[in-house]
Structure 1
Amino acid sequence: MKNIIKPKAVIFDMDGTLVDNIPFHKKAWLTFLAKHNIHLEPEHFNAQNHGTIDEMIKRFFGENLNPKRITELGFEKEQTYRYLYREHISEIEGLTKFLRNLKNQNIKIGLATMGDIPNIDFILDALQIRDYFDGIVGGHMISKGKPDPEIFNTVATLLHVENNDCLVFEDSIGGVRSARSANMCVIGIMTTESSDDLKANGCFRTIKSFVECCDVDFLKSTT
């Protein structure tokens, strides 16, 4: 991969990256599954927490579910999450300022999230940051979830930029692997994983919050 002197696009994951909401997603999954008499310890759930919502529903409920039932169950889980997180929504510190800086430098901004439309609306509208994004790709728009690179390939196409001109912010190992498989540079944000683990899976730098990115020369100093 070539070194980016200045990226043409910066692409963000949503859950765990724009907001520190992963504990609420996990609690929602465990609550939802228990309601359907599927009882898992958190560590057992963590090993299966990847892919699209449809992939996860089939993983827990069986491959033979009809599409309508998969959609119903997925919707129920996401409703549970939004109910649990609604009173706690807040951006990762420094996010809005960083987005504003990117816009001022005419850098395109993308979103690559496994979330569906209601969850995307839920976060972007609560934080009032929707207008910063030039392209949004959700889990409902792809067939293969992270760590497959499909979602990052899709958002790069939507933004009309080459993959190796993109810089990605991700919090999860699966997300980092997805972006790296798409030939993109990745900065890890340490909401869910350690700096060592993020770097071991392909991040060239890690941050605790976007406050570290708000200097206008940040991109020049890191890429």
Structure 2
Amino acid sequence: MGDGDEPWAVIWDMDGVLVDSGEAHYEAWARLFREEGIPYTREQFLQAFGQRNDRILRTLLGPDLPEDRLRELEARKEAYYRALIPSRVRLLPGAWELLHALREAGARQAVGSSGPRANVEATLAALD
């Protein structure tokens, strides 16, 4: 950690590190596939959790899924997820205390995520 006056920082991942977002992601995927008439199980979700949306969709719907259809499905899933953030996404136990302690110790902190920036911003706003 920081030593003396030397600046130091922590870069956090969002999902599964700072926040418990798994159930909200599952609900968003389940809604999308239900609306599309595509069977989807929790087991499929758990096997793919943490992967990029394009990979999940191409695995489940086939590698020849047209790009415009892929983008449309991704956008819908993420919109469903963002709508769930305020009611479903929570800080993981101990995260608030650690964030606060690091701030008090002078650490700069940032969030890095492979998820859409809008998801990060919506999560931070909901936790504020």
Counterpart for residue 119 of structure 1: 119
Query: RCO (CA 8 Å, sep 6+): is it higher in 1 or 2?
Result: 2
Show the 5 A alignment for 1:7-22.
8-22=8-22
Distance in 2, matches of 1:54 and 1:125, equals: 26
Structure 2 residues not aligned, in runs of 5+: 3-7
1:75 is paired with a residue whose SS is helix
Counterpart for residue 43 of structure 2: 43
Q: How much does 1:32 deviate?
A: 1.1
Structure 1 residues not aligned, in runs of 5+: 1-5, 129-223
TM-score (norm 1): 0.48
2:11 is paired with a residue whose SS is strand
Per mean C-alpha deviation after superposition, the further-off stretch among 118-127 and 103-112 is: 103-112
1:115 is paired with a residue whose SS is coil
* The structure with more helix, counted as a fraction of residues: 2
Counterpart for residue 62 of structure 2: 62
Give the number of aligned pairs. 123
Deviations for 1:111-147, whole angstroms, at most 9, x for unmatched residues? 232320221111011112xxxxxxxxxxxxxxxxxxx
Q: How much does 1:25 deviate?
A: 0.9
Q: 1:96 to 1:46 in 2, by over 3 A?
A: closer
Distance in 1, matches of 2:43 and 2:17, equals: 21
Q: Percent identity?
A: 28
Q: How much does 1:35 deviate?
A: 1.5
Q: Which amino acid in the other structure matches residue 52 of structure 1?
A: R
Deviations for 1:9-60, whole angstroms, at most 9, x for unmatched residues? 3232212322222112112212211211220221133223342122222222
Distance in 1, matches of 2:51 and 2:89, equals: 23
